């Protein structure tokens, strides 16, 4: 009995620390969408240009952090041809489109709606496994799918089949972001297990950013530049990328993947609150109900993983 109490007391500080780190990481991700939207609306910065800057700068910082922490993780992904191929697949079909589609969804709607749509990715992963395992969903999985689809339907139509309440472009890019995040989650599993998340995410960002440079022509700086533009751009990179990833990953390391993925449900909530406070977006009852259904359904996916 006493040994159980000692174990509980010993693990409690680590769990609390992990929770704080995970919450901080999710909050940083929630903030990044608002920073980006302010740049799109007030400073005329195109989403594609900002994504390229975020990928390059964020990726470079994460890669340098990897080098300082563990040089074997820094060089390891480049040690074998198989690793290099998988790294490029991750960068081109996971990391780069997930960031690009997410920012385009924000540009065409608002951070809260874009974040909730992107947050559907665990449900898409669940559907993928139905096909791979050649099985029908269980009762609770059907309930989760219906809940999430109902939530998206309410967000998109406000319950009216005759019209869309969200622009088709926002709906398309939000769903595309969710698909890309599903790829981004599943594809690099072997590399991450071998070399760590920080290394693979960093290299994926850096490679994705380099591929986008010729298309976005990053050297042609667009928009209105003043101290606010510089500050918001730095915040997108440092807070919304570097701090978000490092804090969340540390939180997941201490909490475990199931609890960490459940805490991730805070990201759309934070994004929703900040969207109302700083962007003065008014959500209808249908919007809020739809978001709650999506967040609740996806959180249930993590819960049933237990």
Among the ranges given (27-41, 87-101, 111-125, 167-181), the one the predictor scored with the smallest mean pLDDT: 111-125
93 pLDDT higher than 50: yes
CA 135, 136, 139, 142 dihedral sign is positive
Question: Does residue 5 register a pLDDT over 50?
Answer: no
Cα–Cα distance measured from residue 47 to residue 101, given in angstroms and rounded to the nearest whole number: 9
Helices vs strands, H then E, count in the chain: 16, 0
What whole-number distance in Å separates Cα of residue 165 and Cα of residue 48? 25
Residue entry with tokens 């800057």: 53
Per-residue pLDDT band at 63 (split at 50, 70, 90): very high
Would the pLDDT of 47 be above 70?
Answer: yes
Q: Which H helix or E strand runs over 56? A: helix 47-69
Average of per-residue pLDDT values in the chain? 88
Per-residue pLDDT, averaged over 43-63, amounts to 96
**Residue 194: what pLDDT?**
92
Predicted confidence at residue 178, as pLDDT, reads 92
Query: What are the residue boundaries of the structural domains of the chain, listed by start?
Result: 23-304
Average pLDDT over residues 133-139: 87
| Residue 133, both tokens | 């395992």
pLDDT at residue 253 is higher than 90 = no
Split at pLDDT 50, 70, 90, the class of 43 is: very high
pLDDT at 259: 73
Q: Is the pLDDT of residue 262 over 90?
A: no
Reported pTM: 0.88
How many CA atoms does the CB half-sphere of 289 hold within 13 Å? 10
Q: Which is more confident, 137 or 48?
A: 48
**Whether the Cβ atoms of residue 37 and residue 276 lie closer than 8 Å to each other:** no
pLDDT at 222 over 90: yes
Tell me which of 82-96, 222-236, 286-300 is least confident: 286-300
Q: Using one digit for the tens of pLDDT, what is the confidence trace for 147-169?
A: 988 999 889 888 887 777 889 99
pLDDT digits (tens, 9 = 90+) for 186-208: 899 899 889 988 899 999 999 99
Torsion of CA 118, 120, 123, 129, to 10 degrees: -10
């Amino acid at each position: 009995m006493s040994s159980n109490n000692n174990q509980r007391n010993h693990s409690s500080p680590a769990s609390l620390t992990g929770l704080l780190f995970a919450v901080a990481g999710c909050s940083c991700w929630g903030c990044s969408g608002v920073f980006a939207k302010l740049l799109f609306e007030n400073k005329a910065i195109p989403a594609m240009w900002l994504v390229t800057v975020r990928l390059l700068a964020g990726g470079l910082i994460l890669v340098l952090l990897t080098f300082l922490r563990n040089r074997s993780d820094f060089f390891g992904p480049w040690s074998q041809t198989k690793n290099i191929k998988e790294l490029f697949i991750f960068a081109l079909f996971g990391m780069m489109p997930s960031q690009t589609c997410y920012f385009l969804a924000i540009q065409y709607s608002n951070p809260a709606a874009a974040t909730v749509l992107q947050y559907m990715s665990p449900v898409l992963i669940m559907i993928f496994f139905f096909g791979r395992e050649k099985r029908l969903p269980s009762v609770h999985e059907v309930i989760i799918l219906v809940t999430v689809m109902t939530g998206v339907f309410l967000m998109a139509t406000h319950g009216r089949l005759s019209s869309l309440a969200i622009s088709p472009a926002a709906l398309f890019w939000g769903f595309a972001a969710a698909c890309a995040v599903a790829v981004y989650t599943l594809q690099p599993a072997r590399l991450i297990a071998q070399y760590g998340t920080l290394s693979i995410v960093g290299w994926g960002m850096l490679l994705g950013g380099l591929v986008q440079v010729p298309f976005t022509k990053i050297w042609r700086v667009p928009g209105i530049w003043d101290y606010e533009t510089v500050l918001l751009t730095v915040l997108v990179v440092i807070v919304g990328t570097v701090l978000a990833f490092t804090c969340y990953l540390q939180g997941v390391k201490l909490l475990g993947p199931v609890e960490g993925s459940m805490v991730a449900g805070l990201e759309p909530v934070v994004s929703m609150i900040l969207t109302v406070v700083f962007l003065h977006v008014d959500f209808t009852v249908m919007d809020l109900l739809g978001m709650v259904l999506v967040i609740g359904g996806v959180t249930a996916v993590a819960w049933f993983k237990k």
